[in-house]
C-alpha cells in the first residue's frame, strides 16, 4: 500500500532564536558533475532527487503526470532519464507499485510513456520542446559552467526558456522548476527574478 508518511520518526530541533553574528568566512561546496555531497549526514544530489526519484514517486499516485526535463547537455538529461527508467523497472519498484508500467512501444531514453499516458521527455537547451504539453517542466543547469561567462551562451539558455518553454504546458497548467547554481547576474535565475516570477 502507498503511504505518504515515512516509517521512521523524524526528530526535529526547535529553532528558539536567530541572532545576527556579523560577517564571517563560509564554506563553499563545489560538486563535480556526477558527485554528491552530504549535509548533516544526508546525501544530496539535486539531479537524482528531482530528475530521477521525483517522477517515479509521483507516478505512484498520479501516473498521468507528464514531465519535460532539460539541461544544457543532452547527455546529462539522457543519463537521468535512463536512471529513472531503471528505477521504475527495478524489482523493488515493481514489487511495491506493479501498476506503474512503461509501455514497450513508447520506451526510449529520450521519451518514455507509462500505461496511464504519463510520460517523461528528456531534451536540452535549444532542443525539442515545442508541440509537447507537460504538467511539470524541470530545467536542471541550463548553463554550462565553463561557457557561462559568455553573454551569447547565457542568453541562449534564457532565450530558450522564454521563447520555447514559456508556452509549453499552458493547457495543462504546468508547473516549472529551475535548478541551478548562480553563474552570473544575467543567467536564467537572474532573468526570472528580474521579472518578478520568483
State the number of CA atoms in the 13 A half-sphere of 138 facing the CB: 22
Q: What is the pLDDT of residue 76?
A: 86
Mean pLDDT by 10 residues, the chain (198 residues): 48 71 63 50 65 93 93 86 94 96 86 94 76 84 74 80 70 74 75 73
How many whole angstroms separate alpha carbon 197 and alpha carbon 55? 24
How many whole angstroms separate alpha carbon 122 and alpha carbon 76? 9
Reading the block at residue 179, the C-alpha cell is: 535548478
State the number of CA atoms in the 13 A half-sphere of 123 facing the CB: 22
Q: What is the pLDDT of residue 21?
A: 75
Amino acid at each position: 500500500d502507498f503511504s505518504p508518511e515515512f516509517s521512521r520518526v523524524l526528530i526535529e530541533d526547535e529553532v528558539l532564536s536567530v541572532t545576527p553574528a556579523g560577517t564571517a568566512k563560509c564554506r563553499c561546496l563545489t560538486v563535480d558533475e556526477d558527485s554528491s555531497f552530504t549535509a548533516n549526514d544526508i546525501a544530496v544530489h539535486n539531479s537524482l532527487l528531482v530528475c530521477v526519484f521525483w517522477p517515479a514517486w509521483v507516478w505512484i499516485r498520479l501516473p498521468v503526470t507528464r514531465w519535460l526535463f532539460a539541461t544544457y547537455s543532452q547527455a546529462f538529461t539522457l543519463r537521468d532519464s535512463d536512471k529513472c527508467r531503471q528505477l521504475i523497472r527495478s524489482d523493488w519498484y515493481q514489487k511495491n507499485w506493479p501498476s506503474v508500467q512503461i509501455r514497450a512501444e513508447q520506451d526510449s531514453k529520450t521519451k518514455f510513456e507509462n500505461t496511464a499516458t504519463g510520460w517523461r521527455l528528456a531534451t536540452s537547451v535549444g532542443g525539442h520542446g515545442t508541440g509537447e504539453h507537460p504538467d511539470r517542466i524541470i530545467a536542471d543547469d541550463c548553463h554550462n559552467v565553463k561557457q557561462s561567462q559568455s553573454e551569447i551562451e547565457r542568453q541562449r539558455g534564457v532565450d530558450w526558456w522564454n521563447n520555447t518553454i514559456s508556452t509549453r504546458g499552458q493547457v495543462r497548467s504546468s508547473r516549472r522548476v529551475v535548478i541551478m547554481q548562480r553563474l552570473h547576474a544575467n543567467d536564467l535565475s537572474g532573468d526570472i527574478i528580474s521579472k518578478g516570477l520568483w
